């Protein structure tokens, strides 16, 4: 009994560790087994990724060590980012990237004067400006979409498909709950059709069937077809996410607003949608992350997104066999992008909670 | 009325056929190419040695080189070609819908494709065929030496069936080890679980350099299956098909006649061989007969090289793949490459 009365000499952090990880013999065993597994996995991984890796050089001959050959990524970095976009024109992609990041940062700063007008302006001006910067014309050199590729193309697909899908999804969700039978029917048909078709089929049909049935000379760019195909599918999913938010709202909200004399659109815009979108934001983010990863499916119609360009690089005899490096690099970019997105969405959720919370 | 109609059509036929003797058949594809200023060539998404983008983003490879030769022959400039990478699933549709003028992408020529897909194959630029990769120290010279060996294959693949049949027909005993996935079969071979791994010769060349020690492995030049590959065009537009076919023949003829990118100027100026003179446009008007410049093959050879130069640079000894010529050698040197005469 005396033992128990001895004062603990462990510092507080160690005490916490003991309580959480070594409370009972079974806990201690589990902790040790887990630590051992982590050790066995992480040591070779870190050795391969960092310690034994080769960073400097220009060819595969420079990679003599057993670790990763990051020389490959360095030699191909431009292609991983821009595809075959002409070197002299890559500043246009960078500029657009800066504009988008700048706009996003500026607009998330709540002290920005006239923030609402600025966001609408950015949404109206930036997308067409972006297409002009990337594609060219009107003074800029034309860069065909077949030369686009890599991360830039992945982001383009996700952002532009998202820009179409979010408003379309909201409209479809409203349409599905509309009192007008025709609109409701059309929305249901659209949603159920696009939700029921695998994305890969949509992309395939958009890229192959359309040119076959279209009259010759009438040619929609294949990248545009892929963007629209992706957007329609995601819009259908978005619509269901938004509908979830709409259904979660008590009917009293819309009824009260109508009692105040607000019409349908003002009710939706001022009362219903702000609340419904807040509820459905996690689900919509989820759809958007799914969209971001689904952009890789465009590879089957030979559009080289980030993953496609990684695979194409593996076909170069000078670098053949660098599968691990290519996939680890591409995977890391996808992971960081998706993680960033979900962090952004959580931040947004928190802000909306404080804005509307009681 | 019907009599009148048939009389008109008969008259039209006479006029048309007599005109055909002097005039060229219409070629919408060639007209479109000249109008847009470049050839649209469908290539493989990425196949080591045959079609891939190098570090600078330029398309390179044996199949790519052919399209460059074609651009040099038709438009006088080997850079006037744009490449559309095509996946296995979309290749036919891309060709049929007119998005490309031709495919040059490792596609095996088969009867049923020719008969049912509305496409024509315009010759052979690579004799692909199944063969084996073995360790150099095993001293295997021919496929029959693999008797009593173990061979790694992917379960259910055509290669598995082909290899099993080949050895059974010859009453040779081999042990075939099946793997769920092709990659597993490859790594099992690399780790020494099998004496050989089997696939197409072009695929093996790309595979060999992935092994831990590529120089310890050799690819047998004997092939046990027959998968010839070459440029593909749509049905219709015979004049375009003619050009596609004879540019390929021209690159092979150039090698047989000893015309290379280095000596082509000298050959054009000095050669007394009349086939060389016709090939390079000094004698006859072969280019004009197809509606292109008489310098067609001169440009193609000068800018891209003959078949042998292209082969060595892309898949042969001048490339990391180090694939011997094998069946893709001239018929005069024990290979299968053959071209009808330029007469």
**H or E element that contains B43:** strand B39-44
> Does A78 sit within 8 Å of B89, measured CB to CB?
no
Residue B22 binned pLDDT confidence (cut-offs 50, 70, 90): low
Nearest CA in chain B to A213: B97
Q: What percent of chain A has pLDDT over 70?
A: 95
The pLDDT, as a whole number, for residue A217 is 60
Contacts of A150 in chain B (CB under 8 A): none
Domain shared by A211 and A312, yes or no: yes
| Option in A84, A212, A320 nearest B206 (CB) | A320
Question: Is the Cβ pair B51, A313 closer than 8 Å?
Answer: no
Judged against a pLDDT cut of 50, whether residue B21 lies above it is answered with: no
Q: How confident is the model at residue A120 (pLDDT cuts 50, 70, 90)?
A: confident
Distance from CA of A275 to the nearest CA of B (A): 45
Interchain CB contact of A296 with B (< 8 Å): no
**Residue B311 forms contact with A (CB below 8 Å):** no
A110 and A210 assigned to the same domain: no
Q: Minimal CA–CA distance to A330: which of A313, A314, A307, A312? A: A307
**pLDDT category, B113, cuts 50, 70, 90?**
very high
The answer, for A172 touching chain B at a CB cutoff of 8 Å, is no
Which residue of chain A comes nearest to B82, CA vs CA? Answer: A146
Least confident of A321-325, B129-133, B261-265: A321-325
Q: By percentage, how much of chain B surpasses pLDDT 70?
A: 94
Domain range enclosing A26: 10-39
The Cα–Cα gap between B260 and B302 comes to 7
Q: What is the DSSP string of B224-282?
A: SS-EEE--EEESS-HHHHHHHHHHHHHHHHHHHTT--TTTHHHHHHH---HHHHHHTTS
Same domain, A173 and A273: yes
**pLDDT category, A332, cuts 50, 70, 90?**
very high
pTM > 0.95: yes or no? no
Residue A33 lies in a domain: yes
pLDDT at B75 > cutoff 60: yes
Alpha helix ranges (H) inside chain A: 2-5, 12-21, 25-46, 70-82, 90-108, 115-135, 150-176, 181-196, 199-204, 210-213, 222-248, 251-259, 264-266, 273-294, 306-313, 323-356
Provide the pairing of β-strand B196-200 with B130-135: antiparallel
Looking at A289-303, B65-79, B308-322, which range is the least confident one?
A289-303
Interface contact B32, partner A, CB < 8 A: no
pLDDT in tens, A153-180: 999 999 999 999 999 999 999 999 998 9
**Residue A197's domain is classified under what CATH number?**
1.10.3720.10
Claim to verify: residue A256 and residue A114 sit in the same structural domain: no
Q: B46 and A312 in contact by Cβ < 8 A?
A: yes
Mapping DSSP to helix (H, G, I), strand (E, B) and coil, where does residue B85 land? strand
Q: Are A167 and A297 in a shared domain?
A: yes
Specify the number of domains making up chain A.
3
* Residue A260 sits in the same domain as residue A322: yes
Cβ distance B97 to A212 less than 8 Å, yes or no, reads: yes
Same domain, A177 and A274: yes
Using one digit for the tens of pLDDT, what is the confidence trace for A45-102?
Answer: 999 998 888 888 888 888 888 888 899 999 999 999 999 999 999 999 999 999 999 9
Q: Cα distance from A82 to chain B (closest Cα, Å)?
A: 10
Q: Is B98 on the interface with A (CB under 8 A)?
A: yes
pLDDT-based confidence at residue A128 (cuts at 50, 70, 90)? very high
Q: Is A302 on the interface with B (CB under 8 A)?
A: yes
Q: Give the nearest partner residue to B90 out of A78, A207, A216, using CB atoms.
A: A207
Contact A312 B210 (CB under 8 A): no
Does residue A167 form part of some domain?
yes
**Does residue A325 form part of some domain?**
yes
Tell me, yes or no, whether A250 and A139 share the same domain: no
Return d(Cα B337, Cα B308) in angstroms, integer.
10
Can you tell me the distance from the alpha carbon of B341 to that of B293, in angstroms, rounded to the nearest whole number? 19
Q: What is the mean pLDDT of residues B121-134?
A: 93
Query: What per-residue confidence (pLDDT) applies to A182?
Result: 95
Distance from CA of B186 to the nearest CA of A (A): 12
User: Out of A3-12, A275-284, B133-142, which region has the weakest mean confidence (pLDDT)?
Assistant: A3-12
Nearest chain A Cα to B57, which residue? A84
In whole angstroms, give the CA distance from residue A54 to residue A60.
10
User: Of the candidates B49, B96, B98, which has its C-beta nearest A317's C-beta?
Assistant: B49
ipTM for this prediction: 0.78
Cα–Cα dist B236/B110, whole Å? 19
| Domain identity same for A184 and A119 | no
- Give the Cα-Cα-Cα angle B277, B280, B285 (nearest 5 degrees): 80
Indicate if the pLDDT at residue B43 is higher than 80: yes
Report chain B's mean pLDDT, rounded to a whole number.
Answer: 89
Supply the pLDDT for residue B275. 94
Section B128-146 average pLDDT: 90
Q: Which residue of B has its CA nearest to A201?
A: B89
Nearest CA in chain B to A145: B84
Q: Tell me the two tokens of residue A179.
A: 């009192």
- Which residues in chain A are contacts of B53 at CB distance < 8 A? 79, 84, 312-313, 316
Q: Identify whether residues A32 and A181 lie together within a single domain.
A: no
Which chain B positions have a beta carbon within 8 Å of A80's beta carbon?
none
Structure confidence at residue B18 (pLDDT): 43
Cα separations in angstroms, A217 against A86, A208, B98, B238: 27, 15, 10, 22
Average of pLDDT values for B215-243? 92
Assess if residue A285 is contained within a domain: yes
Residue A63 lies in a domain: no
Task: Give residue A355's pLDDT.
Answer: 61
Phi/psi of residue B40, each to 5°?
-100, 115
In a domain, A47, yes or no: no
Q: Judge whether B90 is closer than 8 Å to chain A, CB to CB.
A: yes
Q: Which residues, 6 or more positions from B198, have their beta carbon under 8 angstroms from its beta carbon?
A: B130, B131, B132, B133, B151, B152, B153, B159, B162, B163
User: Of the residues A109, A143, A177, which one is the last residue of a structural domain?
Assistant: A143
Decide if pLDDT at A357 tops 60. Answer: no
Contact A257, A267 (CB under 8 A): yes
Does the structure show a pLDDT above 80 at A259?
yes
Q: Which domains does chain B have, with CATH numbers?
A: 28-126+228-333 (3.40.190.10), 130-225 (3.40.190.10)
| H or E segment to which residue B323 belongs | none
Closest partner CB to A216 (pick from B93, B96, B98): B98
The pLDDT value recorded for residue A7 is 61
Asked if residue A263 belongs to a domain, the reply is yes
A74 is a domain residue: no
Nearest chain A alpha carbon to B47: A315
**Which tokens is B119 given?**
């496409």
Question: Do A200 and A344 reside in the same domain of the chain?
Answer: yes
**Residue B172 above 60 pLDDT?**
yes
Q: Do A228 and A310 have their domain in common?
A: yes
Question: Looking at chain A, which residue has its C-alpha nearest residue B85?
Answer: A302
How many angstroms separate the CA atoms of A31 and A22, rounded?
7
């Amino acid at each position: 009994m005396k033992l128990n009365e001895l004062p603990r000499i462990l510092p507080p952090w160690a005490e916490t560790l003991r309580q959480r990880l070594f409370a009972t013999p079974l806990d201690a065993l589990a902790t040790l087994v887990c630590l051992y597994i982590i050790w066995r996995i992480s040591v070779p991984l870190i050795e391969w990724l960092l310690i034994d890796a080769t960073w400097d050089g220009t060819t595969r001959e420079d990679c003599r060590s057993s670790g990763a050959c990051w020389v490959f990524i360095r030699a191909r970095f431009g292609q991983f980012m821009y595809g075959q976009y002409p070197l002299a024109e890559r500043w246009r992609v960078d500029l657009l990237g800066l504009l988008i990041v700048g706009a996003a940062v500026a607009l998330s700063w709540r002290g920005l004067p006239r923030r609402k007008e600025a966001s609408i302006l950015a949404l109206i001006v930036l997308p067409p400006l972006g297409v002009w910067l990337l594609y060219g014309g009107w003074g800029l050199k034309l860069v065909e979409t077949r030369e686009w590729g890599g991360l830039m193309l992945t982001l383009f697909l996700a952002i532009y498909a998202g820009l179409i899908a979010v408003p379309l999804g909201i409209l479809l969700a409203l349409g599905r709950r509309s009192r007008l039978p025709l609109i409701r029917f059309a929305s249901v048909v659209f949603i159920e059709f696009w939700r029921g078709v695998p994305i890969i089929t949509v992309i395939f049909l958009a890229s192959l069937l359309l040119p076959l049935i279209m009259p010759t000379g009438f040619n929609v760019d294949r990248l545009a077809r892929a963007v629209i195909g992706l957007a329609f599918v995601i819009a259908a999913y978005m619509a269901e996410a938004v509908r979830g938010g709409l259904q979660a709202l008590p009917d009293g909200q819309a009824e009260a607003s109508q009692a105040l004399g607000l019409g349908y659109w003002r009710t939706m815009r001022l009362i219903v949608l702000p609340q419904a979108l807040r509820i459905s934001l996690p689900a919509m983010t989820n759809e958007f992350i799914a969209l971001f990863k689904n952009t890789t499916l465009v590879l089957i119609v030979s559009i080289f997104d980030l993953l496609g360009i990684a695979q194409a690089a593996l076909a170069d005899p000078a670098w053949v066999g660098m599968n691990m490096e290519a996939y680890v690099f591409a995977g890391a970019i996808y992971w960081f992008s998706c993680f960033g997105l979900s962090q952004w969405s959580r931040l947004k959720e928190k802000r909306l909670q404080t804005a509307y919370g009681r | 009325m019907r009599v009148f109609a048939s009389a008109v059509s008969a008259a039209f036929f006479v006029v048309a056929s007599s005109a055909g003797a002097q005039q060229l058949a219409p070629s919408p594809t060639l007209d479109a190419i000249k109008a847009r200023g470049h050839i649209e060539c469908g290539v493989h998404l990425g196949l080591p040695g045959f079609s891939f983008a190098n570090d600078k983003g330029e398309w390179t490879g044996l199949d790519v080189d052919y399209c460059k030769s074609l651009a040099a022959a038709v438009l006088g400039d080997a850079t006037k070609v744009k490449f559309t990478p095509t996946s296995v699933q979309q290749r036919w549709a891309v060709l049929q819908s007119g998005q490309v003028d031709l495919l040059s992408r490792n596609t095996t020529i088969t009867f049923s494709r020719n008969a049912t897909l509305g496409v024509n194959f315009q010759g052979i630029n690579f004799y692909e065929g199944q063969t084996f990769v073995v360790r150099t120290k095993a001293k295997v010279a021919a496929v029959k030496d693999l008797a009593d060996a173990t061979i790694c294959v992917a379960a259910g693949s055509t290669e598995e069936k082909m290899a099993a049949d080949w050895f059974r027909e010859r009453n040779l005993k081999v042990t075939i080890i099946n793997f769920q996935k092709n990659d597993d079969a490859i790594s099992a071979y690399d780790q020494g679980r099998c004496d050989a791994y089997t696939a197409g010769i072009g695929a093996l060349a790309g595979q060999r350099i992935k092994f831990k020690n590529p120089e310890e492995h050799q690819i047998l030049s004997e092939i046990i299956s027959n998968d010839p590959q070459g440029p593909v065009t749509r049905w219709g537009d015979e004049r375009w098909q003619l050009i596609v076919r004879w540019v390929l023949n021209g690159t092979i003829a150039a090698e047989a006649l000893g015309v290379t990118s280095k000596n082509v100027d000298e050959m054009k100026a000095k050669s007394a061989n009349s086939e060389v003179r016709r090939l390079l446009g000094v004698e006859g008007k072969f280019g004009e007969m197809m509606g292109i410049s008489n310098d067609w093959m001169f440009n193609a050879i000068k800018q891209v090289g003959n078949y042998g130069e292209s082969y060595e640079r892309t898949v042969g000894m001048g490339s990391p793949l180090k694939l011997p010529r094998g069946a893709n050698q001239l018929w005069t040197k024990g290979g299968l490459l053959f071209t009808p005469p330029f007469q």
